[in-house]
Structure 1
Amino acid sequence: MRLALGVSYAGQAYDGWQSQPSGNTVQDRLEAALRQFTQQRIGTVCAGRTDAGVHGLMQVVHFDTDLDRKEHAWVRGPNSFLPGDIAVHWARPVPADFHARASAIGRRYAYVLLESPVRPSVERGRVGWVFRPLDPAAMQAAAQQLLGEHDFSSFRAAECQARTPVKTMRRIEIARRGAYWRFEFEADAFLHHMIRNLMGCLLVIGKGDRPVDWMAEVLAARDRRAAAPTFAPDGLYFLGPVYAPHWGLPDRTAAYDWLP
């Protein structure tokens, strides 16, 4: 039987999603909990890897098992062995041809940013931070230049393993609530560090250090050296993959509604 799980996690304490020799990744902790629950070694495949310090509001994983347990048992069982900053929210049986990564037709991220003269305190590690005022109209105009299919090489980390830098940006929304900004991105797929590199450029423009049209110049350069430095991971959240309706999977977890 193939199962899919919806998982949320706070990323501050972990070296990213993907398993590493340190054992200090979200995947390592999830697979250890599944092993304790099932007394079997279970390998998981995720919808989208996240870097160290990046959070997941609905990571989706799949795995195969010959155990027959009810859906709620696959939620409560692993959760009893997981640390408090990782939780399984739902479990669903899926067809054998479902693949958490390959079946996704899109992915969604949000970046939460505090604009304040004072650095974050209680929300430390959960939000990015700028102390200079931002121009929403300038950032909105710059974001429009990123929509559609483009070569995003200027926003790609050197260690990115994607086969092509060409991606389709479907949606960018920028909203403010009090001192907090929320930047939401949806694309068919993203490159390594792509969101954090886009954020670096949007904030340079928002602070008035570069004109709006500079974003188009960076995009056209297809050269990472043309863009702003990579922004902090703290406020970055993987909102989850987008699947076709016929898979019958939830499109969010309860953690999704926590964001400003």
Structure 2
Amino acid sequence: MRTIKLILEYDGTNYVGWQLQPNGLSIQQVVEEALERLLGEQVRVYSSGRTDAGVHAKGMVAVFRTQRNLPLRAFTYGLNNLLPCDIKVQGSAEVDADFNPRADAKGKHYRYTIVNAPHRSPLSRLYAWQLKAPLDLDLMREAAVHFVGERDFCAFRASGCSARTTVRTIYSVEVVRSGEFIHIDVFGSGFLRNMVRIMAGTLAEIGQGKMPPDVVAALLTGQARVNAGMTAPPQGLCLMEVFYGSEFFLDNI
């Protein structure tokens, strides 16, 4: 039995999220159906995490097991021929049987994108949160510093989150402007449901002067979700990369 790792890029606009769900089409379902056509057998695909409806990924890691002795290029080029245009295999590799894409991950990089302009941008509407009110990046950066370290993110998780603990470690949060775009890059060991979106929503409210920057420090003492900012919309979020080796720590500490 072979264990194959895939690096997937996808536009989550038309999907209910990564995970199989009875109420709509998921990324996982489409990938598994394409693999069944390629392999002639049913397989289950296990990912490094879940993304919600409308959330995108540039580097989702997933694995499956198969008895078929196809060359590796078949799991990249062959599979891409069977996938829709909004899902792509970036690369594939054969890994050890005990590789666990979720448990073995050392860290993840998420990027949240805001278009901060007085007029709406039709071309960005599916990939960014459009905010007309000017944002003060200095205030946002001052607040972002408080996220770094081992913190209790209870105030930054969705109500339906089932995680056993709300303590997570964040290595860095960078707020960068590129023209009308503001990117919030978050590097951490792991994340709660909607955590980055709530972080982005809170930073946006701070950037608009609705909250002081030091409110983040208070929220990270285990406060309730109701005290944090809004949950930013899903289309601005993208899973950029999942890290499995020391290069994550070398680059982001």
Q: Which bracket does the TM-score occupy, shorter chain normalised?
A: over 0.9
Task: Please tell me the residue identity of whatever aligns with 1:51.
Answer: D
- Contact 1:33 / 1:82 at 8 angstroms: preserved in 2? yes
Instruction: State the SS of the aligned residue for 1:77.
Output: helix
Contact 1:34 1:42 survives alignment (8 Å): yes
2:225 match: 224
Aligned to 1:237: 238
Secondary structure in 2 matching 1:220: coil
Give a deviation string over 1:163-200, Cα, whole Å, max 9, x none: 21000011111111100011100111000000111111
3-state SS, counterpart of residue 221 of structure 2: helix
Q: In the TM superposition, what whole-angstrom CA distance separates every residue of 1:38-85 from its partner, at most 9, and x where no partner exists?
A: 111010100120000000101110111111111111111221111100
1:218 positional shift: 2.0
- Counterpart CA distance in 2 for 1:207 and 1:22 is 37
Match of 1:147 in 2: 148
Q: Supply the distance in 1 between the matched residues of 2:225 and 2:157 (Cα, whole angstroms).
A: 6
CA distance in 1, matches of 2:49, 2:114: 22
Matched residue of 1:170: which SS? Answer: strand
* Secondary structure in structure 2 of the residue aligned to 1:141: helix
Q: State the number of aligned residues.
A: 246
Aligned to 2:69: 68
Structure 1 residue 245 displacement after superposition: 5.9
Which residue matches 1:7? 8
Residue equivalent to 1:55? 56
TM-score by length of 2: 0.94
Identity %, equivalent residues: 36
Name the structure 1 match of 2:250: none
Partners of 1:134 and 1:207 within 8 A in 2 = yes
Tell me how far 1:24 sits from its aligned partner.
0.3
Moved over 4 A (4+): none
Say if 1:53 and 1:233, in contact at 8 Å, map to a contact too. yes
Counterpart for residue 116 of structure 1: 117
Q: Is 1:194 the counterpart of 2:195 in the alignment?
A: yes
Residues of 2 paired with 1:155 and 1:204: CA distance? Answer: 14
CA distance in 2, matches of 1:158, 1:190: 14
- SS in structure 1 opposite 2:124? coil
Tell me which residue corresponds to 1:161.
162
**1:185 match:** 186
Specify the alignment match of 2:97 in structure 1.
Answer: 96
Q: Where do 5+ consecutive residues of structure 2 fail to align?
A: 248-253
Q: Distance in 2 between matches of 1:36 and 1:233?
A: 31
Q: What is the RMSD of the two structures over their aligned residues, measured on CA atoms?
A: 1.2
1:71–1:90 Cα contact (<8 Å) kept:
no
Aligned match of 1:174:
175
Find the residue that maps to 1:33 and give its secondary structure: helix
Match of 1:253 in 2: none
Cα distance between partner residues in 2 of 1:150 and 1:199: 16
Post-superposition CA distance 1:100-159 (Å, at most 9, x none): 111101111001110011122012211111101111111111000111001100001111
Unaligned regions of 5+ residues in structure 1, if any? 247-260
Structure 2 distance, partners of 1:222, 1:65, is: 46
Q: Secondary structure at the match of 1:190?
A: coil
- Asked if 1:41 corresponds to 2:50, the answer is no
Residues 142 and 215, structure 1, Cα contact 8 Å, conserved in 2: yes
Q: Is the CA contact (8 Å cut-off) linking 1:48 and 1:241 kept in structure 2?
A: no
**Is the Cα contact below 8 Å between 1:109 and 1:239 reproduced in 2?**
yes
Match for residue 20 of structure 1? 21
Q: Are positions 1:30 and 2:8 aligned together?
A: no
Q: Secondary structure at the match of 2:123?
A: coil
Query: Residue 164 of structure 2: SS of its match in structure 1?
Result: coil
Deviation at 1:6, TM superposition (A): 0.5
Does structure 2 retain, via aligned residues, the 8 Å contact 1:125–1:235? Answer: yes
Output the CA distance in 2 between the equivalents of 1:74 and 1:60: 14
